[in-house]
């Protein structure tokens, strides 16, 4: 069944739904593929095939039409989310021997839709950083050139997809962590709007900066996974009900935008000239399809300072005790963020929240005129 590796997730799910392929067939193909290619790239750091096969067998006892949207499609989980009975480290020496007793809400939801967890993908310590490495598992390497970075923080997921060790993958995104590694590795990643994918609330309820999301080898496969991830869960007060739409169907609808804004740098960051030029190449392709394209962007000048303040609040809220108990096991970037959050004044926080509100209103007004904002997903090549 090694040919399954090269099948798209959409095609494979159809085979699973009609019983032409079983979830066990998929797991067997993955196990062989991982044994053959994982070591040089270090993408999948914890395997749980025994658990996966137990889940597959239980799922196969159900009628085909009751096996959920994924129908037994295997999915790796980023090692920031707990999976019951599986080593879940968050890329930290503090949790290097931690075995989760309960799964994250997102994992429970995904498994309820017929997703089968078989591996944990590598991440920087606590997801902090745009390069995937940690003291527990080491470096995840770019699949196209192992001398280069796979980016982060969902680097393990992106590399697993690019090397055929996954058809779809879970990732998460606070400041580019779904999008940057997808760009570096030649796959697709999407940061959903807050609330679309339910997740467990561990500390700060207003966790609107960080979101869980889908990654895949192509857009249709990504939409398939997103269809399975969305929906409300009682344990997440910000989660939104599933809309009466199919994202997979939307990819096949033929819709195209009428007016697109394009920006090479959003007015806030230097961008490698090669990447900036590629953005314009994409814009010209849209123009050739009859789309009106204008080089313009909203005012984002306050976005970085606002983001850094709100991010620091999240670190301080969720990780203050870890700083007190395990400072020697935290990397400098994590310590810096926690300490920044602890030093913030009420005025600092109020200013950042006001900036976020103003930014939302500006973006909302901007998107009344433009259907899309086309911009780089990363500022540098690998």
Q: What is the DSSP string of 145-214?
A: -TTSB--SSSHHHHHHHHTTS-SEEEEEESSSTTHHHHHHHT-EE--PPTTSB----SS-S---S-EEEE
Q: Return the pLDDT at 1.
A: 45
Are residues 292 and 173 part of one domain?
no
Catalytic-labelled residue, pool 121, 149, 153, 172: 153
Task: Out of 224, 251, 278, pick the residue that ends a domain.
Answer: 251
Task: Tell me what the mean pLDDT of segment 58-71 comes to.
Answer: 98
Q: Return the pLDDT at 205.
A: 62
**Residue given tokens 């976020």 in the structure block:** 356
305 is catalytic: no
Per-residue confidence band for 202, with pLDDT thresholds at 50, 70 and 90? confident
CATH number, domain at 205? Answer: 3.90.1300.10
Are residues 75 and 57 part of one domain?
yes
Measured in degrees and rounded to the nearest 5, phi and psi for residue 143 equal -70, -20
Structure tokens at 93: 């020496």
The strand pair at 372-374 and 259-262 is best described as parallel
Are residues 162 and 82 part of one domain?
yes
Tell me which residue range forms the domain holding 105.
2-251
Per-residue confidence band for 236, with pLDDT thresholds at 50, 70 and 90? very high
Measured in degrees and rounded to the nearest 5, phi and psi for residue 64 equal -55, -40
Is the predicted pLDDT of residue 312 greater than 50, yes or no?
Answer: yes
- Taking the C-alpha atoms of residue 253 and residue 20, their distance in angstroms, rounded to an integer, is 27
Structure tokens at 65: 């039409």
Q: Return the pLDDT at 204.
A: 64
Are residues 195 and 278 part of one domain?
no
Q: Return the pLDDT at 203.
A: 65
Task: Tell me what the mean pLDDT of segment 193-218 comes to.
Answer: 88
Instruction: Give the 3-state secondary structure percentages of the chain, helix then strand then coil, rounded to 5.
Output: 45, 15, 40
Task: Tell me what the mean pLDDT of segment 84-91 comes to.
Answer: 98
**Residue given tokens 């809220």 in the structure block:** 317
Catalytic-labelled residue, pool 121, 154, 177, 239: 177
- Please state, for a pLDDT cut of 70, what percent of the chain lies above it: 98
Q: Return the pLDDT at 351.
A: 98
- pTM beyond cutoff 0.85: yes
Measured in degrees and rounded to the nearest 5, phi and psi for residue 87 equal -60, 120
Are residues 216 and 326 part of one domain?
no
- Taking the C-alpha atoms of residue 185 and residue 14, their distance in angstroms, rounded to an integer, is 26
Task: Out of 192, 218, 251, pick the residue that ends a domain.
Answer: 251
Chain segment 327-346, per-residue pLDDT in tens: 999 999 999 999 999 999 99
Are residues 123 and 17 part of one domain?
yes
Measured in degrees and rounded to the nearest 5, phi and psi for residue 231 equal 130, 155
Are residues 35 and 132 part of one domain?
yes
Per-residue confidence band for 154, with pLDDT thresholds at 50, 70 and 90? very high
Are residues 64 and 203 part of one domain?
yes
Per-residue confidence band for 226, with pLDDT thresholds at 50, 70 and 90? very high
Range with the poorest average pLDDT among 48-52, 90-94, 121-125, 241-245: 241-245
Yes or no: say if 137 and 122 are a contact pair by the CB < 8 Å rule.
yes
- Taking the C-alpha atoms of residue 253 and residue 154, their distance in angstroms, rounded to an integer, is 29
Are residues 348 and 225 part of one domain?
no
CB neighbour burial string for 274-291, b if at least 16 within 10 angstroms, e if fewer: ebbeebeeebeebeeeeb
Are residues 260 and 381 part of one domain?
yes
- Please state, for a pLDDT cut of 90, what percent of the chain lies above it: 97
What is the count of structural domains for the chain?
2
Q: What is the DSSP string of 207-271?
A: --S-EEEEEESSHHHHHHHHHHH-B--TT-TT--PPPS--HHHHHTS----SEEEE-SSTTTS--
Are residues 122 and 87 part of one domain?
yes
153 is catalytic: yes
Is the predicted pLDDT of residue 15 greater than 60, yes or no?
Answer: yes
Are residues 319 and 230 part of one domain?
no
Q: Return the pLDDT at 207.
A: 72
Task: Out of 251, 273, 298, pick the residue that ends a domain.
Answer: 251
Is the predicted pLDDT of residue 85 greater than 50, yes or no?
Answer: yes
Q: For residue 153, is the peptide bond before it cis, meaning its omega torsion is within 30 degrees of 0?
A: yes
């Amino acid at each position: 069944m090694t040919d399954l590796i090269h099948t798209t997730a959409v095609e494979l799910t159809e085979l699973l739904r009609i019983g032409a392929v079983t979830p066990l067939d998929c797991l067997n193909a993955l196990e062989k593929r991982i044994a053959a290619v994982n070591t040089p790239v270090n993408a999948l750091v914890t395997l749980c095939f025994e658990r996966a096969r137990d889940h597959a067998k239980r799922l196969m006892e159900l009628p085909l039409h009751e096996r959920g949207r994924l129908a037994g499609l295997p999915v790796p989980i980023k090692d920031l989310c707990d999976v019951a009975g599986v080593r879940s480290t968050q890329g930290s020496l503090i949790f290097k021997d931690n075995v989760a007793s309960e799964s994250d809400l997102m994992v429970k939801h995904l498994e309820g839709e017929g997703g089968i967890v078989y591996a944990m993908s590598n991440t920087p310590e606590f997801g902090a950083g745009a390069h995937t490495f940690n003291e527990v598992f080491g470096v995840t390497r770019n699949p196209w050139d192992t001398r280069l970075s796979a980016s982060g923080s969902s680097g393990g997921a992106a590399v697993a997809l690019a090397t055929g060790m996954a058809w779809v993958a879970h990732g998460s995104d606070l400041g580019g962590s779904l999008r940057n590694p997808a760009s570096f590795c030649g796959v697709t990643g999407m940061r959903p709007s807050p609330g679309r994918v339910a997740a467990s609330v561990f500390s700060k309820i207003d966790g609107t900066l960080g979101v869980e999301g889908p990654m895949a080898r192509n857009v249709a496969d990504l939409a398939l996974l997103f269809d399975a991830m969305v929906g409300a869960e009682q344990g997440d007060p910000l989660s939104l009900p599933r809309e009466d739409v199919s994202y997979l169907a939307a990819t096949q609808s033929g819709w195209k935008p009428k007016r697109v804004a394009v920006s090479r740098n959003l007015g806030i960051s230097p961008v490698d000239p090669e990447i900036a030029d590629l953005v314009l190449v994409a814009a010209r392709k849209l123009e050739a399809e009859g789309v009106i394209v204008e080089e313009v962007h909203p005012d984002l000048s306050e976005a970085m300072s606002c983001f850094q303040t709100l991010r620091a609040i999240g670190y301080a809220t969720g990780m203050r005790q870890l700083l007190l108990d395990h400072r020697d096991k935290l990397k400098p970037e994590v310590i810096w963020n926690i300490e920044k959050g602890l030093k913030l004044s009420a005025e600092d926080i109020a200013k950042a929240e006001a900036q976020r509100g103003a930014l939302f209103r500006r973006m909302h007004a901007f998107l009344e005129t433009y259907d899309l904002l086309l911009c780089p997903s990363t500022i540098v090549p690998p």
